[in-house]
Amino acid sequence: MTTTTTNISAVKTSTLSASSSNAGLNLNPGYFANRSLLDWVFAALVVGAGLFAFMRYHGFMDVYEQGILVAAVPAAIAMGWFWRPLRVLMLAAGGFALLGIVSYEGNLANAEKVFWLKYFLSSQSAILWMSVLFFMGTIFYWMGMFSSREGANHSATFESLGSKITWVAVAMALIGTLVRWYESYLLGPDIGHIPVSNLYEVFVLFCWMTAAFYLYFEDQYKTRALGAFVMLVVSAAVGFLLWYTVIRDAHEIQPLVPALKSWWMKLHVPANFIGYGMFALAAMVSMAYLIKQQASETRWYKLTPLWLLAVVLCFVPIVFRIKTPVDAGGSNYWLGYLLVSGLVAAALLLGRKHIAARLPSFEVLDDVMYKSIAVGFAFFTIATVLGALWAAEAWGGYWSWDPKETWALIVWLNYAAWLHMRLMKGLRGTVAAWWAMVGLAVTSFAFLGVNMFLSGLHSYGTL
pLDDT of 337 reads: 73
Model confidence pLDDT, tens digit, residues 386-403: 999 988 887 788 888 888
Length of the chain: 463
The CA-CA-CA angle for residues 61, 203, 385, to 5°, reads 60
- CA separation for the pair 258, 376 (Å, rounded): 29
Specify the higher pLDDT residue, 365 or 319: 365
pLDDT of 319 reads: 58
The answer to whether 448 touches 316, Cβ cutoff 8 Å, is no
pLDDT of 176 reads: 96
The answer to whether 84 touches 41, Cβ cutoff 8 Å, is no
- CA separation for the pair 310, 154 (Å, rounded): 29
**429-444 vs 304-323: helix crossing angle, rounded to 10:** 0
pLDDT of 285 reads: 95
- Mean pLDDT for the stretch of residues 219-239: 93
pLDDT greater than 60 at residue 291: yes
pLDDT of 301 reads: 59
Model confidence pLDDT, tens digit, residues 135-191: 999 999 999 998 865 556 778 899 999 999 999 999 999 999 999 999 999 998 888
pLDDT of 182 reads: 93
Provide the CA 159 distance to its chain's centre, in angstroms: 20
Residue whose C-alpha is closest to residue 125's, from 104, 140, 142: 104
Q: Which amino acid is at 300?
A: W
Listed in sequence order, the residues at least 6 apart from 255 whose beta carbon sits closer than 8 Å to its beta carbon are 190, 191
What mean pLDDT, rounded, does the chain reach? 84
Specify the higher pLDDT residue, 312 or 269: 269
Model confidence pLDDT, tens digit, residues 119-132: 999 999 999 999 99
The answer to whether 166 touches 227, Cβ cutoff 8 Å, is yes
**Confidence (pTM):** 0.88
pLDDT of 328 reads: 52
* Maximum alpha-carbon separation in the chain: 107
**199-221 vs 152-187: helix crossing angle, rounded to 10:** 150
Q: DSSP string covering 349-368, please?
A: HHTHHHHHHHS--HHHHHHH
pLDDT band at 12 (very low <50, low <70, confident <90, very high): very low
For the chain, how big is the Rg over CA atoms in Å?
26
- Mean pLDDT for the stretch of residues 29-33: 71
Number of other residues whose CB lies within 10 A of the CB of residue 157: 15
DSSP 8-state secondary structure symbol assigned to residue 330:
-
The answer to whether 267 touches 201, Cβ cutoff 8 Å, is no
Sign of CA dihedral 293, 299, 305, 310: positive
- CA separation for the pair 432, 283 (Å, rounded): 10
pLDDT greater than 90 at residue 456: no
**Alpha-carbon distances, residue 429 vs 338, 370, 426 (angstroms):** 31, 11, 10
Calculate what percentage of the chain has a pLDDT beyond 70: 82
- CA separation for the pair 377, 27 (Å, rounded): 36
The answer to whether 228 touches 284, Cβ cutoff 8 Å, is no
- CA separation for the pair 298, 296 (Å, rounded): 6
Within 105-198, residue ranges assigned H as helices are: 115-116, 123-146, 152-187
pLDDT greater than 60 at residue 278: yes
SS3 251: coil
Sort 1 into a burial class: Cβ within 10 Å, 0-12 / 13-18 / 19+. Answer: exposed
- CA separation for the pair 295, 311 (Å, rounded): 19
**Alpha-carbon distances, residue 317 vs 5, 139, 239, 447 (angstroms):** 89, 20, 10, 16
**227-248 vs 265-293: helix crossing angle, rounded to 10:** 130
- Mean pLDDT for the stretch of residues 418-426: 94
Number of H helices, E strands in the chain: 17, 0
- Mean pLDDT for the stretch of residues 418-446: 91
Least confident range of 26-40, 71-85, 276-290:
26-40
pLDDT of 1 reads: 46
Specify the higher pLDDT residue, 34 or 313: 34
Model confidence pLDDT, tens digit, residues 34-84: 888 999 999 999 999 999 989 988 887 778 888 888 999 999 999 999 999
Specify the higher pLDDT residue, 18 or 60: 60
pLDDT band at 90 (very low <50, low <70, confident <90, very high): very high
Least confident range of 158-162, 249-253, 306-310:
306-310
Sign of CA dihedral 190, 195, 197, 201: positive
pLDDT greater than 80 at residue 19: no
- CA separation for the pair 451, 460 (Å, rounded): 9
- Mean pLDDT for the stretch of residues 222-244: 91
pLDDT band at 299 (very low <50, low <70, confident <90, very high): low
The answer to whether 87 touches 42, Cβ cutoff 8 Å, is yes
The CA-CA-CA angle for residues 173, 451, 322, to 5°, reads 95
Element at 63 (helix H, strand E): helix 63-82
Listed in sequence order, the residues at least 6 apart from 448 whose beta carbon sits closer than 8 Å to its beta carbon are 463
- Mean pLDDT for the stretch of residues 253-268: 85
Specify the higher pLDDT residue, 2 or 294: 294
DSSP 8-state secondary structure symbol assigned to residue 106:
T
- Mean pLDDT for the stretch of residues 311-321: 57
pLDDT greater than 70 at residue 110: yes
Least confident range of 12-16, 115-119, 269-273, 342-346:
12-16
pLDDT of 240 reads: 85
Least confident range of 219-228, 290-299, 347-356, 361-370:
290-299
pLDDT of 120 reads: 95
